[in-house]
Each structure stands twice: as structure tokens, then as C-alpha cells.
């Protein structure tokens, strides 16, 4: 069980490092789109 977690840990770190910038860019795009929306 512990070895399974150790094997899966690098994959989780890599996936989180790949997904985090995408989430940040998505939230920035949503914020800009709602902030600069013409009234």
C-alpha cells in the first residue's frame, strides 16, 4: 500500500504542476472577461 502511494506521488506532483497554471490562466481570463464586459 505504501509503495503504491510512493509510486503514484511523482505522477500527482507532475499533474498538479501542469494543471495549476491552466487553472490560474483560466481564472484570470474569466476575471478579465467579467471585468471588461461592456455594460
- Nearest-angstrom CA–CA distance, 11 and 20: 14
d(CA 16, CA 39) in angstroms, rounded, equals 37
What is the pLDDT, as a whole number, of residue 35? 86
pLDDT the model gives residue 38: 67
Tell me phi and psi for residue 6, to 5 degrees.
Answer: -65, -35
Please list the pLDDT of the chain residue by residue as tens digits (39 residues): 677 777 888 999 999 999 999 999 999 999 999 888 766
Q: What does the pLDDT read at residue 37? A: 75
Amino acid at each position: 500500500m505504501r509503495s503504491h502511494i510512493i509510486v503514484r506521488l511523482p505522477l500527482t506532483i507532475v499533474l498538479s504542476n501542469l494543471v495549476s497554471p491552466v487553472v490560474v490562466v483560466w481564472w484570470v481570463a474569466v476575471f478579465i472577461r467579467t471585468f471588461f464586459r461592456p455594460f
